[in-house]
Structure 1
């Protein structure tokens, strides 16, 4: 499928999705959100894709925010629908994606851009990255999961400060806050993310899918994460990957997981 605002490339089972609106600093508009949804939907069905890396074109921005011109004159009802549809189509879809999603954050990740990075399963940042949720400076609040995911990652107090001040933090602060897992040189960002993806792919992708569900369950209202872990743990015993993994371990050889 051809896209206007994003680029996709598959190499050695790694799908790289690049948001490509450099003149707008890769800002998210509704068309880009829809294209990202379609790209992830395709990746979910494509057996060749094992890991997804999400990044922005150029070094200036991962995603500099939402395209404010699209909703500046919205009514409360329209604003609520904008948030709900965006979360369903993209942000929650990414957070619950059954394959690992790594955000490679280059440059600005602000507003919806940081919310998108936080929806990924973990984040790697370049040294020039700047992150923040500046929505309160526009008279609104984060609407794509930012008020929920930021406290989960950095703690309530720091999340309150970041949202209330509408300020930015740099990559070293983001690492200190546990908002990102690693910081790299800008020209090493994608290589680092790809190497991380290769480490992931050495393991059972079926087990990783179950682990994603179990970890996310702890953050979902009405779900008991421990019960989900028990369910996923038991389900793993019926997989071919479990048989291969245990056999390889007992026979002191490298596992070759069939992915079933």
Structure 2
């Protein structure tokens, strides 16, 4: 059963359908390899939650990937432009903030369903979901340190609460890849399943939530998310530091090295 109400017609990088009458499924529909987010998709995933929240026909939401990957994060060719363009940098920072707070403040419960790669903003979409389901073989990374910027984005606001400070520091500071199975083991996600079970379980969970008492469910989400909102000052600081990094020499060198497929050369005597 598919549906695309007028409120969703303006989105070109997101597809919408109804696997259940009260469940809206949002499918990331990127034109880039591995579901990476171009500038248009990044804007859309930061704005869609307000439309979902205002849609009285929706009681629960699924966000999932199109094909073999969820989303490999931001388009580094665009992010390199962000390094040099103040207006683009402020726009990207605002969108990143709106994505996080939009998911936290959306009254409808959100179920994330990931297969393949989920990196950066893609990983944010998954673990900021109220229920996060991934393939055991899915691959995750918070890649900020790989490109020479602070782990802002969503990481500081939610990782320590989900998986504890020791794991948060290890994976955020090393930018090491890890599997869906490891993500479940360290409580970063709700469930890790065989690859062919992910979408079905996401629909099952979302349908169960959609058929639950709407007010009770939404108030439960609102109350629980105050645990995350307590870290809002930490998040705002980390986001600002991330985008300061984009404008500095390490961010530019990190992105250039990644795009040129070489090892970055960072100054060990940085004045910071």
TM-score > 0.5 by shorter chain = yes
The 2-side partners of 1:192 and 1:111 are apart by 24
Residue correspondence of structure 1 range 204-243 to structure 2 within 5 A:
204-221=213-230
Residue correspondence of structure 1 range 58-207 to structure 2 within 5 A:
58-59=67-68, 61-73=69-81, 74-75=83-84, 81-82=90-91, 84-207=93-216
Q: Who is 1:47 aligned against? A: 56
Q: CA deviation at 1:129?
A: 0.6
Q: Which runs of 5+ in 1 are unaligned?
A: 224-260
Q: CA deviation at 1:29?
A: 2.7
* 1:33–1:89 Cα contact (<8 Å) kept: no
The 2-side partners of 1:85 and 1:208 are apart by 29
Structure 1 residue runs of 4 or more that deviate by more than 4 Å after TM superposition:
75-80
**CA-to-aligned-CA distance 1:175-214 (integer Å, 9 cap, x gap):** 1111111122222211101111122233211111111111
The 1-side partners of 2:65 and 2:47 are apart by 17
The 2-side partners of 1:32 and 1:118 are apart by 18
* 1:27–1:64 Cα contact (<8 Å) kept: yes
Q: Which runs of 5+ in 2 are unaligned?
A: 1-8, 233-272
TM-score normalised over the length of structure 1? 0.78
**CA-to-aligned-CA distance 1:67-117 (integer Å, 9 cap, x gap):** 111121414955862453123332220122100001101110111211221
User: Which secondary structure does the structure 2 equivalent of 1:44 belong to?
Assistant: helix
Q: Who is 1:257 aligned against? A: none
Give aligned pairs, total: 222
Q: 1:23 to 1:221 in 2, by over 3 A?
A: closer
Q: 1:177 to 1:220 in 2, by over 3 A?
A: same
User: Which secondary structure does the structure 2 equivalent of 1:16 belong to?
Assistant: strand
Higher-RCO chain (CA-CA 8 Å, sequence separation at least 6): 2
Aligned CA-pair RMSD: 2.2
Name which one, 1 or 2, has greater alpha-carbon Rg: 1
Q: Who is 1:9 aligned against? A: 17
TM-score normalised over the length of structure 2? 0.75
* 2:118–2:141 Cα contact (<8 Å) kept: yes
